[in-house]
Structure 1
Amino acid sequence: MKITTIGIDLAKEVFQIHGVDEHGKAVLRKQLRRSEMAKYFVNLEPCLIGMEACGSSHYWARKLAEFGHTVKLMSPQFVKPYVKTNKHDRADAEAICEAVTRPNMRFVPIKNVEQQAMLSVHRARQGFVKARTAQANQIRGLLSEFGIVIPQGIQSISKRIPGILEDAENGLPEIMRRLLERLNDHLRELDRQVNELEWQIKLWHKESEASRRLEAIPGVGPITASAMVATVGNATEFKDSRQLAAWLGLVPKQHASGGKQLLLGISKRGDTYLRTLLIHGARAVIRIAEKKAEPGSWLCKLIARRNKNIAAVALANKNARVIWALLTQKATFHPDHTMATTEAAH
């Protein structure tokens, strides 16, 4: 009895294992506790292991790969159709075991420790940015109840708060002034945390050759470049540039029947954070292009016939495809869209 394929339903403490032989016959159904996982798989002959991409999946993928196993991660939405009965851990493990053997299955790139650490910095920064925006909106909302209106923008709050606190005739009670000082201190602390994490990201970006190459693309800065490299690595898991753009949710939804095709809005699948960074970068390029770009350029022609939001998504899609080419070919970006490999450049 040789186990060739195993599906693992990950959990916090109790893991469900489902294994099959070369004929697809189930030969292993087992529960393992977290403390037993490493000991069990280190003594198992190397085989194909499938897991859903979820919390701790990249850790276990790296761990099991060290024991000689071939590990594949899959998006849960691609595994769900293989669940044949009611949803429970055993059925999930069986579905994962079957899904990982499908020849047309799409797999998630396994991140190394360095990528995982940099993505953690990005997620922490994103959380601080959201908290900073929420704090700024709270301050603005509370002051509006006292007839004091502050324009939009975090910088407007930092400029106006000192004057509001010093103004003795604005009708603010003392308890509100003390609260306002506390909230403003919290806002400044969140701003400091964001700036420090941005500095860490830029430092990692300078040390990463792949990330520096991506920065040459208009609309891709250190934040976007480092996030892309940390997420997709060398991008070889994607067979072509369109697959990367589709994974980011930057391609239209399709609804086809009877030979008739209907293209809808973008799918918005995949990583929301990366898609947001690419679209924001594209918007910045469009603002500059309206003033300085050549009238006959591709972007200016696009802006002339399409809404700016549509143009921003189209440019983000294009940048995603360029990113795939630069990462897979280890090439250098040139503004005239010609590419030369790094080796040739040297």
Structure 2
Amino acid sequence: KKDGYQVATIIGGRADLEKDGYQVTIMIEDEGSKPNLNTLSDKGLGLLSQLIESKNIQPTVTPAADNSGTPTETPTVGNPSPSDTQQISLDPLLDWRDRNTEPRPEGAKLDYYQGLNPPYKPRDGFLASLEEMKQMKNGAQIYDLLAPEVTVFGKINPNTISGEAFSNFLNSTGEYQQGWLDTVADQFETYRRDHTRFDTIEMLKNVQGIITIEQFKPFLQISGACNVNMASDIGLTVLLKEANYSDSAIQGVLNLRKAGPIKQVAEVNGLLGYSGVKGQVHPDDYLTTVSTIIHYRIWVRSGKGTGCYYLDTVWQREAGGLKKDWQITQISFRELWNQAAPEIPKLEEPKENEED
């Protein structure tokens, strides 16, 4: 007990408190270290879904090796066969966020949503919130599956996304002709293929069709967003698979952080095979050791169980000013009361063989 508060449980980013007849639960998450639902490739989303459903997140290494003793081949990280799990179709999500008009086999486009009562239009671009998934066909299932492991917040590194994802981003920032967006998507891919990466945001103007980037700059960065120490095993695995790192390299990073906090991204360069040669995927484009997007969830319940207040808010912190002091900006805020408040997640029981 401290300052009149009874601290019942503190595990990771969660605290359960009691004060004056009220029960308070606080959960704090590193939101920026989750895979971004808007920029993950179709393949990456599929892998994420499989890993969540199977919980098979540990990479394995094929024992076959060359003369140097180095494994020559590794299977897909945590990627079970289709028969191992009854997957929820992500077609509605993929159709919701892309610009084309043809629905996938189990997806839905404008005609489907216009047939609902009341009718509405799909996003055809970046989602503004995770709750937006609930508006999709079969959205409740998709939301329950993905929401705990993904985010829609944070800035985008153009070095980590496809031309199609970049055009979807542009489509979310204003109204553009689809032909122009198609051209930009193709030219974006061409530039990345010829020049490997963008060293600065200004270099985006070298992509044919882009004249100005001023309106986009607040949403972009040339740096990683995932704190290598804070990401879940599932999230970090999916992120590094998106970067085309091998299963054994990913396992090496997972093992390294279990041994203790990684202080600099450079510590994983060797594990990921990065030596600074032009054309290599740069770990700094994906990883960081600083958390910048923080998600707070707070439940306040009366001891009699007659009411509940819920606060859900996301804050972004950036180094700014001459002294590079941290500047904090609220980017999401939501309050709910009583039955509208979500249930408090249950505490996970520690595994029997889990190390302290």
Give the structure, 1 or 2, with the largest relative contact order (CA under 8 Å, sep 6 or more). 2
Global fold match (TM > 0.5): no
Query: Which structure: greater helix fraction?
Result: 1
Task: Report the TM-score, using the length of structure 2 for normalisation.
Answer: 0.22
* Larger of the two Rg values belongs to structure: 1
